């Protein structure tokens, strides 16, 4: 599993837990919740998950941008080098 796939898996798990808690809070479902943990615990847990989701989304975005940048560099660098080389050769031949 690549680093990005690991981030995406963690993001997916956090989002799933976040939505489960949100659903439980709005439907007043207490079956899945521990008796020792009250409403405030779940509300705070949901806030922490939201922060984690934002951070993981940012990391995933940065990794995707870096991958796209590398792909663009790989695709265009040889062509740009060839264009510059041709331009330099044309300028040299014009001077000579």
Q: pLDDT of 29-49, one tens digit each? A: 766 666 667 878 888 999 999
The residue range of the domain holding 51 is 3-71
pLDDT value for 37: 78
> Using CA atoms, how far apart are residues 8 and 55, in angstroms rounded to an integer?
12
Does residue 79 register a pLDDT over 90?
no
Residue 25 domain-assigned (yes or no): yes
Residue 38 domain-assigned (yes or no): yes
C-beta neighbour count of 72 within 10 angstroms: 10
State the angle between helix axes of 3-27 and 39-95 in degrees (0 to 180), rounded to the nearest 10: 150
Count: domains in the chain? 1
Mean pLDDT of 48-54: 97
Percent of the chain with pLDDT over 70: 92
pLDDT value for 32: 63
Residue 78 domain-assigned (yes or no): no
Which candidate, 90, 1, 5, 10, places its Cα nearest to that of 54?
Answer: 10
**Chain mean pLDDT for the chain:** 89
Which helix (DSSP H) or strand (DSSP E) does residue 62 occupy?
helix 39-95
Residue 29 domain-assigned (yes or no): yes
Residue 87 domain-assigned (yes or no): no
pTM: 0.71
Structure tokens at 51: 């922060």
């Amino acid at each position: 599993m690549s680093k990005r796939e690991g981030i995406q898996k963690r993001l997916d798990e956090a989002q799933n837990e976040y939505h489960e808690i949100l659903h439980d809070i709005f439907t007043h479902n207490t079956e899945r919740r521990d008796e020792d943990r009250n409403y405030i615990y779940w509300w705070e847990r949901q806030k922490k998950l939201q922060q984690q989701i934002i951070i993981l989304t940012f990391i995933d975005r940065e990794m995707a941008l870096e991958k796209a940048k590398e792909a663009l560099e790989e695709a265009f660098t040889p062509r740009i080098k060839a264009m510059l080389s041709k331009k330099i050769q044309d300028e040299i031949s014009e001077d000579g």
